[in-house]
Amino acid sequence: HLRPPPASQMEEVSLLRGSNCRAKGAAPGFKVAILGASGGIGQPLALLMKMNPLVSLLHLYDVVNTPGVTADISHMNTGAVVRGFLGQPQLENALTGMDLVIIPAGIPRKPGMTRDDLFKINAGIVRTLCEGVAKFCPKAIVNVISNPVNSTVPIAAEVFKKAGTYDPKRLLGVTTLDVVRANTFVVCTLTEFGICIITILTFTGTISKIYYLLCLQGEVLGLDPRDVNVPVIGGHAGVTILPLLSQVNPPCSFTSEEISYLTTHIQNGGTEVVEAKAGAGSATLSMAYAAAKFADACLRGLHGDAGVVECSYVASQVTELPFFASKVRLGRCGIEEILSLGPLNEFERAGLEKAKKELAESIQKGVAFINK
Ligand code: NAD
Ligand code: LMR
């Protein structure tokens, strides 16, 4: 359990000047900024990052309410020092020296909207914030959460290209919530299936009491959602969200009905939350959890931990598209390797074709926004 010293005693652990990688053996205290920190995602994400022992300094930036959020979070007795920044004039101070910048700034969906309907407003917000990153912390790793991610990541890339600071290894679209949902829904489906089998066996009198108890404790099914990993590739909207259920780890087999049900459920997870919140926004708590999980993976990579692999929407050559979500290995320089998609079954190959068509348009829209 790593515990950084107080900020006053922290040795300088920013990225090495002139290098794109972090120094080997540097102290495990990272400087993290959240842009959009007063929002539905920003606040619980700030709380979770304040609890992360790899974080020594946490900058909370927003155009509203950061003094209150910062005062509140700063009372948590964890190692990270918290500072608040309010409004555009304070963006420079919020960003200078940061190792990781997380961007959840922007408006969320209301029922009936697609993520692409957010483009008009969020594209400009992401552009402005990324211009700040290019100026004030060009070597930082950037995690883009603001929707539509399929377009906002290409927007960020174009901003960085224009500024001459673009490093594709350092720009990552956050699709972790799709993986988190997939892992949860797969376990629910298997557990429901297991309980259904148990019920049938119990009624037919062919099950022993001990087997029944083991099943109920999950020991026969043996599944905790945290131990399940479903790769989710493509992008982060509708059919571009493509769970690879043939590659679930630990290996599980599903009927074609289960595959079709699970795929739709995972693709519509965001919309289900938007409808349940009935106008009060989209996923914030599960998203903060997912964003904190992904940010932690980026920090562990920077710290030099081995074998840190997460799915993310990044500049990629695994398909003919310039951006694509797939498994990436994270390291001291950001993305160290983009893993291949692995074998896809027929259902997944068909899904991939649909996903690519929509993704191509969203990428083009983002690129055109900056170059128009
Ligand atoms: P929210 O409205 O609750 O919070 C957004 C925050 O951004 C607000 O505090 C607002 O003041 C701030 N903001 C607006 N313009 C800003 C600017 N120029 N600079 C700094 N801050 C600014 O929304 P939310 O629920 O937190 O969602 C934020 C975004 O995240 C939305 O676009 C949403 O669609 C997206 N989202 C993405 C995922 C994903 O999986 N990638 C999941 C959930 C939500
Ligand atoms: C999600 O997947 O929950 C987010 O992209 C928010 C949304 O609009 O669905």
Substitution site in 113, 115, 174 for ligand 2 pocket (most atoms within 8 Å of beta carbon)? 115
Token pair 């290894």: residue: 169
Ligand nearest to the backbone CA of 107: 1
Q: Which atom of ligand 2 is nearest to the CA of 271?
A: 9
Query: Looking at the predicted structure, is the pLDDT value of residue 16 above 80?
Result: no
- Report pLDDT digits (tens) over 313-361: 999 999 999 999 999 999 999 999 999 999 999 999 999 999 999 999 9
Which range, of 15-24, 107-116, 147-156, 351-360, averages the lowest pLDDT? 15-24
36 CB within 6 A, ligand 1: yes
The predicted complex's ipTM stands at: 0.99
Query: Which of residues 78 and 10 earns the better pLDDT score?
Result: 78
- Looking at every residue in the chain, the average pLDDT score rounds to 89
Query: Which of residues 263 and 204 earns the better pLDDT score?
Result: 263
**pLDDT-derived band of residue 11, with 50, 70 and 90 as boundaries?**
very low
Going from the Cα of 270 to the center of ligand 2, the distance in angstroms, rounded, reads 4
Ligand nearest to the backbone CA of 172: 1
Q: Looking at residue 7, what is its pLDDT?
A: 42
Please state whether beta strands 141-144 and 308-315 pair in parallel, antiparallel, or not at all (unpaired): unpaired
pTM: 0.90
| Minimum CA distance residue for ligand 1 atom 34 | 108
Please state whether beta strands 141-144 and 171-173 pair in parallel, antiparallel, or not at all (unpaired): parallel
Going from the Cα of 39 to the center of ligand 1, the distance in angstroms, rounded, reads 6
What string of DSSP letters covers 84-147?
EEESGGGHHHHHTT-SEEEE--SPPP-TT--GGGGHHHHHHHHHHHHHHHHHH-TTSEEEE-SS
75 catalytic, yes or no?
no
- Report pLDDT digits (tens) over 156-213: 999 999 999 999 999 999 999 999 999 999 987 766 555 555 555 555 555 444 434 4
